[in-house]
């Protein structure tokens, strides 16, 4: 799909709104089929059109049109040998082949030369990681309502989502409250509900138990609550 921002959260959010991954443009349908011949198990790909220019900041870096390939699952992403750098340096052996194929297809489908004259990067990213983060954030209010309705004598002070790793961080006011909740089975009950909730809300069937963590803390642990509250 053609995009106007590099931030994938917006792309994943649109997938959640539609309830499916939609690849409607013929150029991407053919491009994705080609990528499969390179053993890339693709969820979808994006193309970000940007002006061609050089940016010098310490080290030279290039700016221009970017292709991003989203691999379906974390396991496949790792088996293919990619890291969190996402092929930023272009070290993936098929990077130039992918650029050339895009240029060929852009010409075939009649796109302006600005869509293929200069491809700066071919990024390769883990779609499942982004998807799980959006799934847990979209479901967070449901989990908070469940905890509220339980009317336990002691309930958490905060519940934050995190993308790295994908998890909920549930925080009690102090160690005494934390130990009470743990002793009375609240941790187990909350974790069970969250796993069932995420399974129910997962329309792409990508979630299994353990892929989204549920972590418990108390404020006496000297946590960085400001950092956690950013939920990034």
- HSE of 114, CA atoms in CB hemisphere, 13 A: 6
One domain for residues 32 and 54? yes
Beta bridge partners of 2: 47
Q: Please give the pLDDT value at position 217.
A: 97
Cβ atoms within 10 Å of 26's Cβ, excluding its own: 11
Residue 59 pLDDT > 70, yes or no?
no
Q: Which residue has the higher pLDDT, 117 or 188?
A: 188
Q: Please give the pLDDT value at position 52.
A: 66
- Band (pLDDT 50/70/90 cuts) for residue 18 is confident
Domain boundary among 71, 104, 129: 129
One domain for residues 125 and 135? no
The C-alpha atoms of residue 189 and residue 108 are separated, in whole angstroms, by 56
pLDDT digits over 73-85, tens only?
A: 999 999 888 877 7
Domain count along the chain: 2
One domain for residues 40 and 121? yes
One domain for residues 191 and 96? no
Question: Token match 């650029």: residue?
Answer: 99
Q: Please give the pLDDT value at position 58.
A: 47
The C-alpha atoms of residue 34 and residue 222 are separated, in whole angstroms, by 51
Mean pLDDT of the region 35-62: 75
Q: Please give the pLDDT value at position 226.
A: 87
Q: Please give the pLDDT value at position 8.
A: 66
Residue 16 pLDDT > 50, yes or no?
yes
One domain for residues 112 and 192? no
Mean pLDDT of the region 178-184: 97
One domain for residues 125 and 140? no
Q: Which residue has the higher pLDDT, 93 or 3?
A: 93
One domain for residues 10 and 122? yes
Q: Please give the pLDDT value at position 14.
A: 77
Residue 230 pLDDT > 50, yes or no?
yes
Domain boundary among 129, 144, 159: 129
One domain for residues 66 and 176? no
- Band (pLDDT 50/70/90 cuts) for residue 4 is low
One domain for residues 17 and 77? yes
Q: Please give the pLDDT value at position 60.
A: 47
Q: Which domain holds residue 171?
A: 131-229
The C-alpha atoms of residue 228 and residue 92 are separated, in whole angstroms, by 34
Secondary structure class of 71 (helix, strand, coil):
strand
Comparing CA positions, the residue from 46, 49, 60, 56 lying closest to residue 123 is 46
Q: Please give the pLDDT value at position 49.
A: 86
Domain boundary among 129, 162, 189: 129
Mean pLDDT of the region 161-184: 95
Residue 56 pLDDT > 50, yes or no?
no
Q: Please give the pLDDT value at position 7.
A: 60
Are the C-beta atoms of 137 and 183 separated by less than 8 Å? no
Residue 55 pLDDT > 80, yes or no?
no
pLDDT digits over 92-149, tens only?
A: 999 999 999 999 999 999 999 999 988 989 999 999 998 999 999 999 999 999 999 9
One domain for residues 115 and 138? no
Residue 57 pLDDT > 50, yes or no?
no
One domain for residues 30 and 104? yes
One domain for residues 159 and 86? no
CATH code for the domain of 206? 3.30.300
């Amino acid at each position: 799909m053609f995009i106007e921002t590099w931030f994938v959260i917006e792309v994943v959010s649109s997938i959640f709104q539609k309830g499916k991954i939609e690849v409607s443009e013929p150029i991407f349908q053919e491009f994705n089929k080609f990528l499969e011949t390179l053993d890339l198990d693709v969820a979808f790909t994006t193309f970000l059109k940007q002006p061609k220019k050089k940016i010098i900041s310490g080290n030279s870096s290039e700016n221009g049109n970017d292709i991003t390939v989203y691999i379906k699952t974390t396991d496949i992403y790792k088996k293919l040998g990619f890291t969190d750098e996402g092929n930023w340096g272009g070290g993936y052996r098929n990077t130039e082949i992918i650029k050339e194929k895009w240029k060929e297809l852009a010409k075939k489908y009649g796109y302006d030369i600005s869509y293929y004259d200069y491809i700066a990067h071919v990024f390769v990213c883990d779609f499942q990681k982004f998807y799980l983060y959006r799934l847990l954030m979209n479901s967070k209010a449901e989990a908070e309502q469940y905890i509220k309705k339980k009317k336990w004598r002691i309930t958490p002070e905060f519940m934050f989502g995190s993308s790295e790793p994908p998890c909920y961080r549930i925080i009690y006011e102090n160690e005494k409250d934390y130990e009470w909740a743990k002793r009375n089975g609240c941790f187990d009950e909350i974790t069970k509900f969250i796993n069932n909730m995420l399974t129910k809300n997962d329309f792409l069937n990508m979630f299994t138990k353990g892929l989204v963590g549920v972590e418990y803390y108390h404020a006496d642990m000297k946590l960085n609550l400001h950092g956690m509250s950013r939920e990034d």
